[in-house]
Structure 1
Amino acid sequence: AQYFSSPTESHYVDILSFLFIIEEINKDPDLLPNVTLGYHVYDSCGDPSLAIGSVLQILSGPGEPVPNYSCGDQGEIAGFIGDVSPVTSLPIAQLLSVYGYSQISYGATNPALSDRTLYPYYVSTGLNDHVQHVAIAELVEHLGWTWVIILVDDDDYEQSKNLRTEITKHNACVDFIAALTGDINTNRRTLEHIKQSTAEVIIFCGRLHQYLRKVRFTEASGREIDFSNLINSPVKFQIFSWYCYLTFEIRQVYVGEYVWSGSERSLEIQIEKIFWKKNTNNQTLKSQCSANCPPGSRKVPRKTAPPCCYDCISCSEGEISNLTDMENCLKCQDYEWPNQEKTMCIEKQTEFLSYQDDPLTLAFIVLSVVFILITTVILGIFISFRDTPVVKANNRNLSFILLVSIKLSVLSVFLFLGRPMDITCMLRQTSFGITFSIAMSSVLSKTIMVCMAFKASKPDSPWRKYVSAKVAYWIVFVCSVIQILISVIWLASSPPFVEHNIHSEPGKILILCNEGSVVAFYIVLSYMGLLASVSFIVAFLARSLPDSFNEAKYITFSMLLFCSVWITMIPAYLSTKGKYMVAVEIFAIISSSCGLLFCIFLPKCYIILFKPEMNTKQYLLGSSK
């Protein structure tokens, strides 16, 4: 036998256990009848070359070992038991697979040795390293550690790579693998490297089976042990927390256990019993390369860094993350939008000129009602003083038509307010277009009749036959019917409809009216602009007529205001969205209607109410001379 000069206590216990079990087997005649077991004990000292030499010595017999020759004369070799380390067990298994001798390892569980094709005579009673790696990885995951260091013996580096692979599968990363060697300077540099790391957890991946395994040599129940399946037998690890006091007393406290049985596994741990190396305020010690990305953000990997080292950025517009450390944010559905924290999708706000809690709608309602009241009052004044010269001067019936059409135009504003519906979408543009075209037609008719009346005042003028109320009414009728036909064709071919615009403004659903045919919409506006332009030109040419017919001057101003408002409105209308686009059109309707009402009718109301002496036929005839 060969031994270390100063053998460790654990090795000595292994030898005594081996001698005891051999003696027990030889005493029992039922186990191996007519067979007596003998043994040779060698110490490999963890050296592969020494381990191979010991095996060859046993195969060759006493004296100098000779490969392929056996000089022994006492009994047959039944098999080999050993080694505890995969570093020495692997070359032994490679050699014995050639000679066909069985090998039973009581510790080594290198996954490579499980290959029955390469090592058909090798079995192990040791704990499965894979199970240990899974247990450690699941413990690391359970405690929320994502950034650890693996510290190994110099001859267990291969096992440490397998452990790192398993830890990586459980969403954690290894900063580096450090090996403890026999060189004190190398070990000192390793410890300095560990101090510089941001990892708070070090995993010792040495020969854990030396401390965890429990070998049972006999079974009182008589259960037959199948070595080929022993590696898959249920395993139970106990988890202890070790404390080192100032008196150098070391104490271990049971904190949990890990049970593995085939596909089933369970981890139970009492975290409150664990004593951490630093004050954590009764919380689990954190060991992370990067802080957790809270809900509302996502992880962005750093270049050339492990997956556990990352930056956190807020989710993009329209996306959320409702869990910690999400790698990708979730996109909200079309009718949803993230809340302010970007942790959940909520229903998008709808936007339109609502009758509830919208100051813009309230302002338009107030303006419209006031304007309608003013128009009604002026209409009442004109009806009351319908037989006075000022009212009769320029065809009072046209004035009544103009006032009513202006009032209807302002009333059409209410079709633009509230939640759009298909019927309101179809009516609002067409109703405004028709009523305002009637107003423009009335203005145009008034302007033309002013010019015709002045020309007919000359002796033997051919214009006299055209100066009649019928001509004025025909002008209004024809000009209005054209707009009505345009509107009917528009509604019949491509009517406006309600549209839910979910893309124009983030977080909002713009409920608006799609005009159906943009061409028809601009034809309606263009026709009103044509009537206003003709009225402006005719009124401008007639502005120098005698004072009794000076309504042309006021029409000029009103048409100038109308054209200015609508020319300004078009670019503003095209550059806005949602309810503000509707608000621009409403403002244009109210402004242009105010221009007509105030420029044409306020001067007359002033004369009727405050200058009655001017509201006489003699004054009008006198001022016309």
Structure 2
Amino acid sequence: MSSFLQSNFFLFILLYSYFSYAMSSSLFPSSCQLQGQFHLNRMQESGDVNLGGLFPVHFFSSVPDLSFTSQPQQPSCHGFYVQGFRLAQTMAFAIDEINKNSNLLPNVTVGYTLYDNCVELGIGFRGALSLASGQEEQIILHNTCVGNPPVVGIVGDSSSTRSIAISSILGLYRVPMVMKPKYPSFFRTIPIRAMIQILKHFGWTWAGLLITDDDYGLHAARSLQSELSVSGEGCLAYIEVLPWDKDTDELRRIVDVMKKSTARVVIVNQFWEFTFQYLENVNTEILDISNLRPEYNVYKAVYALAYSLDDMLRCKQGRGSFSGHSCGTLQSLEPWQVVNFTTPFGDQVSFDQNGDVVPIYDVMNWLWLPDGSTKVQNVGEVKGSAFRGEEIILDEDKIFWNFNSKKPVQSVCSESCPPGTHMVRRKGEPKCCFDCIPCSEGKITNKRSKYSLECNSCPEDFWSNPERDYCVPKKTEFLSYHEPLGICLTATSLLGTCICAVVLGIFIYHHRTPIIRASNSELSFQVLLSLKLCFLCSLLFIGRPRLWTCQLRHAAFGISFVLCVSCILVKTMVVLAVFKASKPGGGTSLKWFGVTQQRGTVLCLTSIQAVICTTWLVSSSPTPHKNTQYQNDKIVYECAFGSTVGFSVLLGYIGVLAFLSFLIAFLARNLPDSFNEAKLITFSMLIFCAVWVAFVPVYISSPGNYADAVEVFAILASSFGLLITLFGPKCYIIIMRPELNTKKAIMGRGSGS
């Protein structure tokens, strides 16, 4: 079963101005004699102004063979076409109705002359020429050819080929044109956009085009291809051009194929109605009033002429729409313009800025019954609007689909791409034939971009989900307090801080005992305080980086460790000076290591690190940075150094002090046991240097938040190393072996060595 769109009746209105031709030469005779008669089937009624019509009342004609020795015989028409006859009767009825209307063209009687074109170019051409010039036997010529034309407008012909040919000849009479530059008086509505509305409604993007080899068919093909290209939602699988020869059985064969087709939907315009209905019952068709859309279109075309003539006659000079705001007259017509009007049935007839009528199309469902006859039912319409374009209204419950599923078929070369993929057109095939390729990472397509040739990139801080159909915020990564690693490092940092506080309390409580006094209690207190700061500064490396944490973390780390290592360095130097002072002649060395000198040395060494940090922060301060180089779907929040040189100098200065402490302690490693502080310092500096030497390559190779974790681990490891090696043995003696925390025991160990 096939369905098709019954289009507006194919009409154009040929209006023309009075033919004027100056005869300034005596070469022309004073009268024109008709050289021959051409007999046409016609209906005629005279009036003050006359309208012409061309309709296919017969659809076959036969022309005798030419002998070239005698005058050709007239062609004969046969094969009564009911639809064409109804159209002619409609025009006559509309003109009669206009003449009875006192408000439209008052005091003017409209007449008509209607010719049968027999669906033949030659006959239609002669009919139009007869309408334009008349068939009087003799015309008396004056100085100029002035007079009223036989008709002021023509309704018809239904074929573009015949209409264009007629327009070209009537152009010699200065026929005003409206629709397109070449044939501006040619009013025709081809239901291309309406067909496209149906294709869109059912989602059909893969269509074939069957056209006749004439101007109408070729123009329809170009229009359809243009509309499909503009909409971008369909393409033609093929275009087949049929020879327009009514003496062949080609159209009959195509109709039979359409009737038997159960795999295709056929959308046709009203031209095919003639093809489908010419084997039908004439009497039944004449009485059938179920579909009067073609007749109604002719009815509106006649009223368009009448309203335009009425508008012209009511025109006031200076307000007209013609040259110089003048008004036209029946005796001297200027190029004519159509006007909008309302029919007696209340329907608004409008014309757009191009002079094209805003159309209304019926959507008809054709059913071929088992007995071979056809049944047509109206299932909707496509309404045109000057502002909203075409709107389709369908009652799908009325549509009969000749398929097993009883539902609309799918007609696509390639199914629309699902979300997460994009189209890649197949080489050498129509544009609606394509493959669907998944989007790459970071790009998406969704339902709104199902015909997209490219995937859309996600915003900067977003990434595609696994299905590639929408963007999700990128995962953020930093050393967090809420993840296991961050929790462990935070707990370790706080543990180290608490241990430092406990050891400091022990040292304060037992500050008068020999073992503490022998280990330079003031510097020991400073070392404990600096270690406590080292443990706490590691917390600045945990949590989402902020500007203040990025600026403070390395400054606090650098100054805390320099303070600690400076105290250890001074302490080592004091140990070495005390040992030398115990020997004969070595007492002068202690004057350089008094309490004031010790404090000043520590302050001076720490101030250098403070200057380094200040210079770094002022010149190129560390800042928070969103790093996506490690993984595209993640944002790694980290602190950019700003200046790698600043960080290197900071670390390098700590390393120099640690190396000096290690070197001096190593040189003093063989001191008596009473001064065994040097051995503990040697061991602590060895651990400290080992940790930070290993830190550098591991830190450089660690991505993202692991780099911060490595630095925190190095801080904690070196801090615990110093805390345990420097203060572990003393706390053990103070708490577990108090009998050894005496001057005698300490001196005794010294004498024992």
Scaled by the length of structure 2, what TM-score is found?
0.65
Aligned match of 2:294: 213
Change (3 A) 1:10 1:510: farther
Letter matched to residue 395 of structure 2 = Q
Equivalent position amino acid for 1:290 in 2: S
Question: Which residue in 1 is equivalent to 2:564?
Answer: 439
Shift of residue 527 of structure 1? Answer: 1.1
| Change in 2 beyond 3 A, CA 1:358/1:218 | closer
Aligned partners of 1:569 and 1:584 also within 8 Å = yes
Q: What is the Cα-based RMSD across aligned positions, in Å?
A: 4.8
Is the Cα–Cα contact under 8 Å of residues 500 and 509 in structure 1 kept in the other structure? Answer: no
User: How many residue pairs align between the two structures?
Assistant: 591
Are positions 1:258 and 2:320 aligned together? Answer: no
Contact 2:116 2:124 in 1 (8 A): no
Shift of 1:592: 1.0
1:43 pairs, out of 118, 135, 139, with: 118
Counterparts of 2:564 and 2:110 in 1: how far apart (Å)?
Answer: 126
After the TM superposition, which of the residue ranges 507-516 and 23-32 deviates more from structure 2? 23-32
Identity rate of aligned residues, in percent? 34
Residues 574-583 or 34-43, more deviating: 34-43
2:231 counterpart of 1:152: no
Counterpart pick for 1:597 among 709, 717, 723: 723
CA deviation string 1:136-184 (max 9, x = no partner): 1222223332222222234323422222212322222222212345788
Inter-partner Cα distance in structure 2 for 1:310 and 1:263: 34
Aligned to 1:11: 81
Q: CA deviation at 1:134?
A: 1.5
Letter of the 2:488 counterpart: A
Give distance in 2, aligned partners of 1:415 and 1:596. Answer: 21
Alpha-carbon displacement from aligned partner over 1:430-473 (angstroms, at most 9, x marks no partner): 22222211110122123323333444443334665358553544
What is the letter of the counterpart of residue 554 of structure 2? Q
Counterparts of residues 17-28 of structure 1 (less than 5 Å):
18=88
Partner of 2:21: none
What is the rounded CA distance, in whole Å, between the counterparts of 1:95 and 1:614 in structure 2? 133
Residue 554 and residue 311 in structure 1: after superposition, are their counterparts in 2 closer, same or farther (change >3 A)?
farther
Name stretches of at least 5 consecutive residues in structure 2 with no aligned partner: 1-39, 41-57, 63-75, 141-147, 258-262, 275-290, 310-335, 339-350
Conserved 8 A contact 2:95-2:110: no
The answer on whether the counterparts of 1:337 and 1:346 sit within 8 Å (CA) in structure 2 is: yes
Q: Is the 8 A contact 1:500 1:512 kept in 2?
A: yes
- Report the counterpart of residue 563 of structure 1 in structure 2: 689
Partner of 2:196: 137
Q: Sort the Cα spacing of 1:443 and 1:221 in 2 relative to 1 into closer, same or farther, 3 A.
A: closer
Distance 2:406 2:740 in 1: 95
1:480 and 2:606 aligned = yes
1:401 counterpart = 2:541: no
Q: Is 2:209–2:236's contact at 8 Å kept on the other side of the alignment? A: yes
Q: Determine if the alignment matches structure 1 residue 552 to structure 2 residue 678.
A: yes
Distance across 2 between alignment mates of 1:568 and 1:385: 37
- Report the Cα distance in structure 2 between the residues aligned to 1:186 and 1:245, rounded to whole angstroms: 20
Q: Cα deviations across residues 593-621 of structure 1 (Å, max 9, x unaligned)?
A: 01111222223333444445555544654
Identify the match of residue 588 of structure 1 among 707, 714, 717. 714
SS in 2 for 1:179: strand
Number of the residue aligned with 1:412: 537
CA separation in 2, counterparts of 1:445 and 1:584? Answer: 29
Secondary structure of the 1:157 match is: helix
Alignment of 1:82-481 (within 5 A): 83-98=157-172, 100=173, 114-115=179-180, 118-119=182-183, 123=186, 128-129=189-190, 132-155=191-214, 156-171=217-232, 172-181=234-243, 203-204=267-268, 207=271, 213-214=294-295, 215-216=298-299, 224=307, 229=338, 232-244=356-368, 250-265=374-389, 266-276=391-401, 278=403, 285-315=409-439, 317-322=441-446, 323-325=448-450, 327=452, 328-335=454-461, 341-344=467-470, 351-355=477-481, 357-461=482-586, 464-465=589-590, 468-470=593-595, 471-481=597-607
Q: In structure 1, how many angstroms separate the alpha carbons of the residues matched to 2:524 and 2:111?
A: 135
Q: Structure 1 pair 177/388, CA: closer, same or farther in 2 (3 Å)?
A: same
**How far apart are the structure 1 equivalents of 2:698 and 2:626?**
19
Q: Do the aligned residues in 1 keep the contact of 2:128 with 2:166 (CA within 8 Å)?
A: yes
With a CA cutoff of 8 Å and minimum separation of 6, indicate the structure with the bigger relative contact order. Answer: 2
Unaligned runs of 5+ in 1: 62-69, 104-111, 193-198
SS of 1:412 mapped into structure 2: helix
* Deviation, structure 1 residue 336: 5.0
Cα distance in 2 for residues equivalent to 1:381 and 1:23: 123
Provide the rounded CA distance (Å) in 2 between the counterparts of 1:444 and 1:472. 10
Q: For the structure 1 residues 184 and 469, does the alpha-carbon distance in structure 2 shift closer, same or farther, using more than 3 Å as the test?
A: farther
Distance in 2 between residues matched to 1:203 and 1:290, nearest whole Å: 21
C-alpha displacement at 1:406, in angstroms?
A: 0.7
SS in 1 for 2:161: helix
Tell me, yes or no, if the aligned pair for 1:299 and 1:311 is still in contact at 8 Å.
yes
Asked if structure 1 preserves the Cα contact closer than 8 Å seen for 2:91 and 2:299, the reply is: no
- 3-state SS of 1:175 partner: strand
Q: Quick one: structure 1 residues 507 and 375, their matched pair in 2 at CA, closer, same or farther if it must change by over 3 Å? A: same
Cα distance in 2, alignment partners of residues 474 and 35 from structure 1 = 123
Q: Distance in 2 between matches of 1:154 and 1:338?
A: 52
Considering fraction of residues, name the structure with more helix. 1
Cα deviation, residue 13, structure 1: 4.4
Superposed displacement of residue 268, structure 1: 1.3
CA contact (8 A) 1:151 1:203 kept: no
Output one character per residue of 1:350-369: Cα deviation in whole Å (capped at 9) or x when no partner: 554444x3333221221112
Q: Secondary structure of the residue that 2:714 maps to in structure 1?
A: helix
Structure 1 pair 40–374 and aligned structure 2 pair: CA distance change class (3 A): closer
| Most deviating of 400-409 and 374-383 | 374-383
